[in-house]
């Protein structure tokens, strides 16, 4: 489908939400576009980008990010399922949309009518989609997923003949793509990555035996885009890279310089000082007295907590930026409130802006730092920012 270029005026300007707001996330659509073009330049013009906007655009807002990416000329968008795909179509997005985790029974008619491209690996996927496409008199492209070792989704190589035979008799489906997914592409000396690559090549050879030569062949997730050019094939599926982050590239358990991509974090998470309290030495702060002041200090209370997606695991560990200086989180992060020690920063006042994720005055706190403190990954931090935190698109 030749899609009309999106007009960014379709994205609502919601900056007014923060005028009286306490906590918000600023999403730089300019940075998102820059990251997309940096990835395209990195993999080359001959490799198609499928920009992954699943999970509400990794917490950034799927519709707004998809509209911005469409305006930049991205040819494909990747989502989890038909519900996410329908939401994008309902917002007026024309770009091709790949459903990456298959289909549910009963969704096939809507998938066809909304021009969504499903991933298949079961015979019943093919049967139901063929019936729906025949009913609507369209030729539906599908992508076949191969399980090369993740043991989650996809057909094993030995199961491909049965699927190929099923596809061969379809009059209304055609195989446009074939894909797989890496378990640990970011680990350069991992044994599973070359093993998965070899199995994928075996799968392509098996498809060729049935005269199936899909033009879109894709293995590469964000980690593979960063570190494994041999896996790029004809399409890649960057996700976290689009939003300005990449997993550390490892060899021998050590971080190596695996990516030269000039990425810009898209999201900045901010709040404001709700109140300031002078607290003498020896006083407990917050639940369970997990923090006791060693000297008299000032405590700023922030109107953000784990209900907003600021993890409780950051209690007594994280830091924020206020007035261009770091301030440590002290005491337990609660549902709606977090306390930070600002005794070393003069002039702190109610309403002062505080950065939870972002940078200012040479100081920075990013999702990687918070993830490390939570023994997690930046994906979880970004996706975990709750819906009660307004996203403001700038």
Residues with active-site annotation: 54, 287
> What's the farthest any 2 CA atoms get from each other in the chain?
79
Q: By the 8 A CB rule, do 304 and 23 touch?
A: yes
Residue 318 contacts by C-beta under 8 Å, 6 or more apart in sequence?
A: 328, 329, 365, 369, 370, 373
């Amino acid at each position: 489908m030749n899609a009309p270029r999106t007009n960014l005026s379709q994205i609502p300007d919601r900056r007014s939400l923060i005028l009286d707001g306490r906590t918000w996330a600023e999403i730089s659509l300019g940075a998102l576009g820059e990251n997309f073009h940096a990835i395209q330049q990195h993999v080359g013009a001959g490799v198609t980008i499928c920009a992954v906007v699943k999970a509400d655009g990794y917490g950034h807002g799927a519709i707004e990010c998809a509209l911005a990416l469409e305006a930049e000329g991205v040819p494909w968008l990747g989502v989890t399922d038909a519900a996410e795909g329908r939401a994008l179509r309902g917002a007026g997005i024309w770009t091709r949309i790949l459903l990456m985790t298959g289909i549910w029974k009963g969704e096939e008619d809507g998938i066809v009518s909304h021009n969504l491209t499903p991933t298949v690996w079961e015979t019943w996927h093919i049967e139901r989609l063929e019936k729906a496409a025949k009913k609507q008199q369209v030729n539906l492209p599908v992508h076949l997923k191969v399980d090369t070792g993740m043991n989650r989704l996809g057909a094993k190589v030995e199961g491909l003949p049965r699927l190929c035979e099923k596809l061969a008799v379809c009059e209304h489906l055609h195989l446009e793509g074939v894909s797989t997914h890496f378990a640990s592409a970011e680990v350069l000396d991992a044994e599973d990555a070359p093993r998965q690559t070899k199995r994928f090549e075996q799968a392509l050879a098996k498809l060729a035996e049935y005269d199936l030569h899909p033009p879109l062949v894709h293995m590469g997730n964000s980690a593979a885009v960063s570190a494994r050019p041999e896996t790029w094939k004809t399409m890649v599926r960057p996700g976290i890279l689009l939003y300005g982050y990449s997993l550390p590239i490892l060899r021998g358990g050590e971080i190596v310089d695996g990516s030269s991509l000039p990425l810009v974090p898209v999201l900045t998470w901010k709040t404001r000082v709700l109140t300031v309290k002078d607290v003498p030495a020896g006083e407990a702060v917050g639940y369970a007295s997990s923090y006791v002041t060693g000297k008299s200090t000032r405590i700023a209370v922030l109107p953000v907590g784990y209900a907003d997606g600021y993890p409780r695991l950051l209690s007594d560990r994280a830091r924020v930026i206020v007035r261009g200086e770091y301030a440590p989180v002290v005491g337990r992060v609660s549902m709606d409130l977090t306390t930070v020690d600002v005794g070393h920063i003069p002039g702190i006042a109610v309403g002062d802006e505080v950065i939870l994720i972002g940078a200012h005055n040479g100081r920075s706190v990013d999702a990687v730092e918070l993830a490390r403190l939570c023994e997690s990954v930046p994906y979880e931090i970004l996706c975990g920012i709750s819906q009660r935190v307004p996203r403001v698109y700038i």
